[in-house]
Amino acid sequence: MGRGTFRSQNKVGETMSFQTNSDSGTTFNPLVTFLSGSDRVSWDLGDGSGYIADSSLSYSYPDAGTTKTVTLRTNKLSNLKQFQGFNINIVGNLDMSGWDNLGGNFIVTFNTDLTGITHTSSAEVFSQYYAYGCGLVGNHDMSMLPGLGGQFRINSNPNLTGITHTYSPQIFTNYTASSCDITGNYDMSMFPNLGGGFSVNFNPLLTGITHTYSPQIFTNYQAQSCGLTGNHDMSMLPGLGGDFQIYSNSALTGITHTASTEVFTKYLANSCNLTGNHDMSGLSGLGGNFQIHVNPLLTSITHAASTEVFTQYYAFSCGLTGNHDMSMLPGLGGDFRIRSNSALTSITHTASTETFSNYFAYDCGLTGNHDMSMLHGLGGSFQIQSNSALTSITHTASTETFNIYNVDSCGLVGNHDMSMLPGLGGNFFGLNNLNLTSITHTASTETFNAYWLGNCNLTGNHDMSMLSGLGGNFQINDNPLLTSITHPVSTQTFTYYQVSSCNLDYVNFLPLSGATINGDIDLRANGMTATEVNHILVDFDNLSTNLNPSGWSGVTLDISINATPDTTSGGFNGIAAIDSLTGITNNWSITTS
């Protein structure tokens, strides 16, 4: 049948029209399917090329994108069920008002100039309704589609302010309306089988979501970066789990959950305004990535027993008060951060064999002993500094490597036992513990970048003979009762070495003969006698001249505010040692007094 004959015989029936600005660089490929069987369908493409008889097209317009009116002609629009127009450059409103059996797969994605869709009543069930990445404006009325379900995606319509639904008993496996401009309360109370993936995130004017009871399981629930206000009631969703994200809602003061045994891989409610206690006692599958940080009015969190493994647990910069009970979480590990809770006085843990990459509990109010004897995988970055009432820390054996261990500005008293941590290394900080008298180490081959123990009360000898990776920036100043230091055999590079304002006797530097001194040595104000000063200077001369000239040349030494070196005290000639050290070969710069 020729095109003209088909055209003349197909002037009866019903039509629908819409506009497109598809151009020569794109493919215009709409598709329609039938309610049952088949029927006659033709397309007038609006460019004078006549009708094309087919239920689907693959056509390239010859022009540069002028607006054309496309007319679909068929016997009855009610015989059609599905319409698909993916990225076909629809312009303006798409009028589907004649499709009273619309259902199945309705796809009009990525039509950025599509501003509206007009529907009529249809009882058909939808498996897909996709209108994402378009230019929908204002409210999108779907109140005439009681068969909506399956996968619904209308996200990325920045001018879409609302969606009107009607009751549907269908099961939703996905509902996405993110990155729009949905305003006010979003009513989902007509969907008793909502579940799967639910996303309404990035709608900054969305102030609330109303749900009804649904027995379906949620694999993700995302409402982050909205304007949710007050309490968000989820007590009717017993299948909540998976990826839960509701962070960055600055006016959200609470979340009400009901019991759920589903496993959570993420629970993100950070950067909100959660207030008082956050009750999670019904969520027995909590684990994975848990973040509830930056909620300054959040005073406590109630957990349920869960055997799930945690890769992150963030509750920092909140208002946690008193004890934080985590005794029901044996899978705790990974990246743990509960810092900056000034009224948090203690944390209760239970036994865990998980590895910790971070443990941050600094800038809190931890008091007395902090018991970590049940955390066998502690390692990575351990920071518990600035807890002025923290008097001790109990560790258990761990073979994990530490890159930071920081107990600065606490209230540690007596001996701090670290003999069970053979992976200690990296940066070790213990400054400003005025009642800390000693530290017990165990053998470690890890490299140290820094070792600071200034302004403590170290007493007697400080034994470091087991730390063969000692190097970097070493400072142990302002310990007035510290009389000696036992160095390890180390081949590391020291960028700075300071032991000042202590009460040192002779210090043996010869174990460091294989090390490289690439910086200053500060031994000021240690009350050393002329014998002790002479002995140390002779040792330095031996190191620089004989034992390791390449590693011990060009050093700047300040050994002032001690006794003045001489030529005879203790049988050592300190003056000759200085002459040798400051000579052309060794090139030291030495300050004495």
Domain boundaries, the chain: 1-170, 467-593
Which residues in 6-76 belong to E strands, given as ranges?
Answer: 14-20, 31-34, 41-44, 51-53, 68-74
* pLDDT band at residue 241 using 50, 70 and 90 as cut-offs: very high
Express each pLDDT in 438-494 by its tens digit: 999 999 999 999 999 999 999 999 999 999 999 999 999 999 999 999 999 999 999
Query: Within its chain, how far is the Cα of 428 from the centroid?
Result: 25
The token pair that represents 151 in the structure block:
């996968």
3-state secondary structure of 10: coil
* pLDDT band at residue 3 using 50, 70 and 90 as cut-offs: very low
Average of pLDDT values for 133-161? Answer: 98
Separation of first and last alpha carbons in the chain:
114
Which residues in 21-124 belong to E strands, given as ranges?
Answer: 31-34, 41-44, 51-53, 68-74, 80-84, 90-95, 104-107, 114-118
User: Which of these, 185, 174, 181, 175, lies nearest to 208 by C-alpha position?
Assistant: 185
Could you count the other beta carbons within 10 Å of the beta carbon of residue 554? 12
Q: Looking at residue 593, what is its pLDDT?
A: 82
* pLDDT band at residue 37 using 50, 70 and 90 as cut-offs: confident
CB burial string 555-579: b at 16+ within 10 A, e below: bebbbebbbebeeebbebbbbebbe
* pLDDT band at residue 1 using 50, 70 and 90 as cut-offs: very low
The token pair that represents 413 in the structure block:
């008293």
For 561: left if phi > 0, alpha if psi spans -120 to 50, otherwise beta; the answer is left
Average of pLDDT values for 285-305? Answer: 98
Q: Residue 255: is its pLDDT beyond 70?
A: yes
Q: What is the pTM of this model?
A: 0.93
Q: Measuring CA to CA, how many Å separate 421 from each of 194, 382, 476?
A: 50, 12, 21
Rounded Cα distance, 86 and 538, in Å: 85
DSSP for 333-348 reads -EEEE----TEEEEEE
Q: Looking at residue 281, what is its pLDDT?
A: 98
- Tell me the backbone φ, ψ of residue 542, rounded to 5 degrees: -65, -40
Average of pLDDT values for 276-280? Answer: 98
Rounded Cα distance, 349 and 374, in Å: 7
Q: Looking at residue 8, what is its pLDDT?
A: 38
Q: Looking at residue 2, what is its pLDDT?
A: 42
The token pair that represents 53 in the structure block:
């008889």
Query: Within its chain, how far is the Cα of 359 from the centroid?
Result: 14
3-state secondary structure of 538: helix
**Side chain identity at 404, as an amino acid letter?**
I
